Amino acid sequence: MKSAFAVAFATLLAWTSIALAADASGPFKTTEAKSTGSVTVGGQSISYQAVAGNLVVHSKGWSDTPSSEHADKTKNASAEASMFYVAYFRRGADLSRRPITFIFNGGPGSSSVWLHMGAFGPVRVVTADHTHTPAAPYQVIENHESLLDASDLVFVDAPGTGFSRIAGKDAAKKFYGVDQDIHAFAVFVRKFLSKYNRWNSPKFLIGESYGTMRGAGLPLALEREDIDLNGVALLSCILDWDLMPDNPELNPSVDLPYEVTLPSYATTAWYHHKLSPKFKHLKPLIQSVEHFAMTDYAMALQAGNSLSPERRQAIAERLSSYTGLPVAYLLRANLRIPYGAFQKALLEHRDLTTGTLDTRFTGPTMDPLSKLAQYDPQSAAISSAYVSAFNQYVRQTLHYKTNEIYKPEIPIYSSWDYKHQPPGASHPLIMLPNVLPDLAAAMKRNPDLKVFVNGGYFDLSTPFYEGWFETHHLQIPKSLQKNISYHYYRSGHMIYVHVPALKELHDNMAAFIRSASPHS
């Protein structure tokens, strides 16, 4: 008897050809598995070719035509990465007009499985909207919100994630860092454009989470190689790491993170019915709390220890009205709610912890006596579905044959090299990374570059107001500010988990790509 996956895919896709090719490249070999299929988007059937494979990229300083002057450089930069991708090409399209979009998730240390199987690929895994998805078998269905109606798609796994691998001298040091990662993806894009003859196609990037840092840094890196992009879409932004509201006791006097995160605390409290009935509608609440965050709250935090007891009490009461947390708790927290504490405290009376990536999700609290949330209920609720579905899909449907383990995430967050050399700096800076200067420089060099900022109201990992605040501080002239557009959704970090938001995201993204693609 056929499995549920086999029946689903046989119904959805008609596979006609499989081709494998390999050529030696150091310890890695480039591979390619081809197949065909179709998907219906907007009532229109789209026939496509799928290619699952990998390209080999080298670390910075490597030369593919070594000479005596490059010999020492090449010897010291021998690290390489095999970067896995799945590409979908619409059959019969005019390649000179057909857009191509490179899509990646973040982490750092995350593969692209989430955007692939949840948002823009031709199939998607079905998960529960805001509760735990039961264990296998999982349902995989045709994705009527796939972006194949607007663009060819390339889902790329960062070095070391997914089926991507690294090797060579100091490989981790050469690939696991802000600038190292941007370099690897820039090399990948150049190689891909050459391999598939897409140099003259309209070109786009879509990055999610840490992928927005990569997505904001890549345009300038590509421009320095004479590759202009048409547009960059940023989902769930984190472009300036100084805005993360964690460990306040280790970083006193830095108060802005608590201000830009407060609107997300308020939307979460609103969703879980912890606020006064006067906040019946979400939009007025957001406007009110954003104003409070940037005025009275900001001034109170800046006052530090000089804040009077009366004023401290008044601010705590206002905070309580927006967050649903007790006044006494907020006073003990010194009016600053750190990352992880809110998720644990909001529904403490019910022994529940809210999600971090998506606060609509809840799960049983691990340790009722802990200060911070000890896991993310949203990640626990859907990860198995995504990873199981992709492992089945890539082998059975895309026919990518390998004994390698697919790594949805790798534990490199704490060892990542966060030093970044922004344009104008003579060396990587010893500070939390900020790629706003890179994006600003890219927009100045290419004044036609369009930027589309997206966020979820129920995201505490990368709060929605943070992305708005960051991009409103880009050092660009007023004439370029019109190139940036914004949209926010009643969902979390992974906007597409909420199906109504997925439909909205598709329509907005397709419109963005078409508007920035001449003659598409």
- Do both 190 and 322 map to the same domain? no
pLDDT at 9 over 90: no
The region of weakest confidence among 20-24, 282-286, 487-491 is: 20-24
Neighbours of 114 (CB within 10 A): 28
Q: Which residues contact 66 (CB under 8 A, 6 or more apart)?
A: 74
Identity of the residue numbered 510: A
Ordered DSSP codes for 146-196: -GGGT-EEEEEPPTTSBT-EEESTTHHHHHSBHHHHHHHHHHHHHHHHHHT
Give the confidence band of 25 by pLDDT, cuts at 50, 70, 90: very low
Beta bridge partners of 250: none
pLDDT at 68 over 60: no
Instruction: Tell me the CB-side half-sphere exposure of residue 65, using CA atoms within 13 A.
Output: 0
Q: Which residues contact 147 (CB under 8 A, 6 or more apart)?
A: 101, 120, 153, 506, 509, 510, 513
Residue 454 lies in a domain: yes
Give the confidence band of 77 by pLDDT, cuts at 50, 70, 90: low
- Do both 258 and 220 map to the same domain? no
- Do both 367 and 410 map to the same domain? no
C-alpha span between 336 and 319 (Å, rounded): 10
Residue 520 lies in a domain: no
What would the pLDDT profile of 345-358 be if each residue is shown by its tens digit? 999 989 999 999 99
Q: What is the pLDDT of residue 20?
A: 34
- Do both 510 and 445 map to the same domain? yes
Coil, helix or strand at residue 399 = coil
The region of weakest confidence among 52-61, 136-145, 242-251 is: 242-251
CATH number at residue 61: 3.40.50.1820
pLDDT at 394 over 70: yes
What would the pLDDT profile of 304-356 be if each residue is shown by its tens digit? 999 999 999 999 999 999 999 999 999 999 999 988 999 999 999 899 999 99
What tokens appear for 35 in the block? 């197949």
pLDDT at 193 over 60: yes
pTM: 0.91
Q: What is the pLDDT of residue 65?
A: 62
- Do both 106 and 10 map to the same domain? yes
Q: With CA atoms as reference, report the closest residue to 117 among 125, 126, 109.
A: 125
C-alpha span between 519 and 342 (Å, rounded): 48
Neighbours of 143 (CB within 10 A): 24
C-alpha span between 444 and 518 (Å, rounded): 20
Asked which of 352, 378, 404 is the last residue of a domain, the reply is 378
Cβ(206)–Cβ(115) under 8 Å? yes
Cβ(491)–Cβ(358) under 8 Å? yes
Domain count along the chain: 2
- Do both 93 and 108 map to the same domain? yes
Q: What is the pLDDT of residue 520?
A: 55
- The mean pLDDT value for 373-396 works out to 94
- Do both 122 and 59 map to the same domain? yes
- Do both 98 and 201 map to the same domain? yes
Q: What is the pLDDT of residue 99?
A: 98
Give the confidence band of 61 by pLDDT, cuts at 50, 70, 90: confident
Asked which of 378, 399, 428 is the last residue of a domain, the reply is 378
Identity of the residue numbered 499: V
Q: DSSP letter for 360, please.
A: T
Residue 95 lies in a domain: yes
Residue 17 lies in a domain: yes
Residue 213 lies in a domain: yes
- Do both 361 and 488 map to the same domain? no
Instruction: Tell me the CB-side half-sphere exposure of residue 143, using CA atoms within 13 A.
Output: 25
Coil, helix or strand at residue 39 = strand
- Do both 233 and 249 map to the same domain? no
Cβ(92)–Cβ(197) under 8 Å? no
pLDDT at 66 over 60: no
Asked which of 378, 407, 442 is the last residue of a domain, the reply is 378
What would the pLDDT profile of 431-485 be if each residue is shown by its tens digit? 899 999 999 999 999 999 999 999 999 999 999 999 999 999 999 999 999 999 9
Residue 135 lies in a domain: yes
- Between helix 296-303 and helix 282-294 the angle, nearest 10°, is 30
Q: Counting runs of H as helices and runs of E as strands, what totals does the chain give?
A: 17, 15
pLDDT at 76 over 90: no
pLDDT at 10 over 50: no
Q: With CA atoms as reference, report the closest residue to 258 among 465, 103, 116, 97.
A: 465
Contacts 24+ apart (CB under 8 A), 342-349: 342/265, 342/268, 342/460, 343/372, 343/373, 343/460, 344/370, 344/371, 344/372, 344/373, 346/268, 346/269, 346/272, 346/274, 347/272
Domain that includes residue 269, residue range = 245-378
How much is the mean pLDDT over the chain? 91
- Do both 501 and 440 map to the same domain? yes
Q: Which residues contact 119 (CB under 8 A, 6 or more apart)?
A: 145, 494, 495, 496, 502, 505
Q: With CA atoms as reference, report the closest residue to 51 among 139, 156, 131, 138.
A: 156
Given the structure tokens 């050809």, which residue do they identify? 17
Dihedral through CA 167, CA 170, CA 171, CA 175, nearest 10? -170
C-alpha span between 128 and 362 (Å, rounded): 12
Q: What is the pLDDT of residue 250?
A: 78
Q: Please report the beta strands in 352-393, taking only residues with DSSP state E, as ranges in sequence order.
A: 352-354, 362-364
C-alpha span between 34 and 313 (Å, rounded): 65
Beta bridge partners of 434: 240
Give one word for 141, left, alpha or beta, with left for phi > 0 and alpha for psi -120 to 50: beta
- The mean pLDDT value for 71-96 works out to 81
- Do both 123 and 211 map to the same domain? yes
Residue 324 lies in a domain: yes
Q: What is the pLDDT of residue 246?
A: 72
Ordered DSSP codes for 252-264: TT--HHHHHHHHH
Beta bridge partners of 41: 44
